[in-house]
Amino acid sequence: MKIGSALLTNSGQGLDHRAIHAWVEQLAGLRQAGVEVVLVSSGAVAEGIKRLGYPGRPRRIAALQAAAAAGQMGLVQTYESAFQRFGLHTAQVLLTHDDLSDRQRYLNARDTLVELLRLGVVPVVNENDTVVTDEIRFGDNDTLAALVANLVGAEVMVLLTDQPGLFERDPRQDPQAELIATEWAAHPRLDAAAGGSAGALGRGGMVTKLRAARLAARSGCTTLIASGAEDNVIGRLHLGESIGTLLAPASDPVVARKQWLAGHLQLRGSLWLDAGAVNALAAAGRSLLPAGVTRVEGNFDRGEVVRCLDSTGVEVARGLVNYGGDEVRRIAGHNSERIEALLGYGGAPELIHRDNLVLTGRFMPDK
């Protein structure tokens, strides 16, 4: 769930506490219904601009960073107090592009978010504007929301904005333009429909929302773009009511992730497997355990892509490995219960979890 600056700050008047408490109440309703929620929130810079008395959005990076630092305090305090009314804790998660482009930090961020969700905590994610520079910034929180959706394997990404949704044409130019209720995220007609830019406070717009929807769709995530001013908008969307614009992925999450693993990542090493491990992967659809590894090649880090080979050197699969090369060499051929004793710390029982593994070559399934 991403909420934009214009909504959160009432178009620059400072944090709209009444609106925030209303959205939090709806999000608490989702939690009570068993839905895991990650909130990506704008508003820190806009709140900081008001707190520090800037006449408008500064252009200097140091001024923006100062505004972010000051505004983040008010934003986090507001969310924590609002969620506590419903017995829910929040956790602040600040990210930069480097955190999600570096595989080690990517996995650390994912593990943190997954653990927070397991504990019933609501992560409140924002870009770390206090330290970010133009070279590494996400550019807008729509993109950040999409990357977080990919990170946690979200099923749905909701982008709440001050507009009713995505229209066929700019409604400011053509009042007769019709709202697009549903479409494939990749459909080319959406490019023309998403014209326009952001307001003075935000960096996003419908162009960035479409880009974010397509990014989220790569992992099979559906995007909903709707007005945050709609009464009980979150609850109604959860019940399936047609509000705003729904942009659907072309494939389900598993297929999209398998395609990503199979074709778009550089291989960093190789694991040779015994016949039992090959059968477990190819026939039973199981994860790869250290006991089935007979040989390790390459210098790779946790989270990088390696290939799995049978005893003759034929590629069976490839996937994201949970341990670095030196660690794999130490635990290869051993049962998972021995990992902590061999490494000095406990970790995942699998070398490669089946969700992060794709069969290749002649081992690929029929569909």
Distance, CA of 133 to CA of 294 (rounded, Å): 45
Number of domains forming the structure of the chain? 2
CATH of the domain at 209: 3.40.1160.10
100 and 202 assigned to the same domain: yes
Of 250, 266, 293, the residue at which a domain comes to its end is 250
Together in a domain, 318 and 290: yes
At residue 185, does pLDDT exceed 70?
A: yes
Query: What pLDDT band is residue 314 in, cutting at 50, 70 and 90?
Result: very high
257 SS3 class: helix
* Same domain, yes or no: 231 and 296: no
The pLDDT value recorded for residue 177 is 86
> What's the CA gap between 68 and 130, in Å, rounded?
6
Q: What is the pLDDT of residue 235?
A: 95
SS3 content of the chain, % helix, strand, coil (to 5): 40, 20, 40
Cα dihedral 288, 252, 99, 58, rounded to 10, equals 180
Residues 6+ positions from 124 with CB-CB distance below 8 Å: 39, 41, 75, 76, 79, 90, 91, 92, 93
Other CB atoms within a 10 A radius of the CB of residue 127 amount to 26
Please indicate, yes or no, whether residues 183 and 270 belong to a single structural domain of this protein. no
Extract the tokens encoding 274: 């015994």
More confident residue, 320 or 252: 320
Question: Which residues pair with residue 93 across a beta bridge?
Answer: 125
How many C-beta neighbours within 10 Å does residue 285 have?
Answer: 11
Same domain, 197 and 306: no
> Which has the higher per-residue pLDDT, 6 or 229?
229
Do 184 and 193 meet the contact criterion of CB atoms below 8 Å apart? Answer: no
Helix (H, G, I), strand (E, B) or coil at 16: coil
Strand arrangement, sheet containing 315-320: 293-297, 267-273, 305-309, 315-320, 357-359
Q: Are residues 299 and 348 in the same domain?
A: yes
- Place 202 in a pLDDT band, splitting at 50, 70 and 90: very low
What is residue 137's predicted lDDT score, i.e. its pLDDT? 55
Residue 366 has pLDDT above 50, yes or no: no
pLDDT digits (tens, 9 = 90+) for 122-138: 999 988 877 765 544 55
The radius of gyration of the chain's CA atoms, rounded to the nearest angstrom, is 23
Residue 230 — pLDDT band, cuts 50, 70, 90?
very high
Domain hosting residue 334, numbered range = 258-363
For position 149, what pLDDT does the model report? 92
**Residues 190 and 289 grouped into a single domain:** no
**What does DSSP assign to residue 311?**
T
In the listed set 210, 230, 250, which residue is the last one of a domain according to the structure? 250
Q: 175 with 266, same domain?
A: no
Q: Domain end: 198, 229, 250, which one?
A: 250
Do 234 and 327 lie in one domain? The reply is: no
- In this structure, the answer to whether residues 45 and 174 fall within a common structural domain is yes
Q: Which residue has the tokens 């005893």?
A: 311
* Both tokens assigned to 221: 């995530």
> What distance in Å separates the CA atoms of residue 158 and residue 229, rounded to the nearest whole number?
14
Is residue 210 domain-shared with residue 179, that is, in the same domain?
Answer: yes
Q: What is the domain-level CATH number for residue 299?
A: 2.30.130.10
Q: Do 308 and 238 lie in a common domain?
A: no
Cβ 82 vs Cβ 24: under 8 Å: yes
Q: What is the mean pLDDT of residues 33-54?
A: 91
Task: List residues bridging with 319 in a β-sheet.
Answer: 306, 357
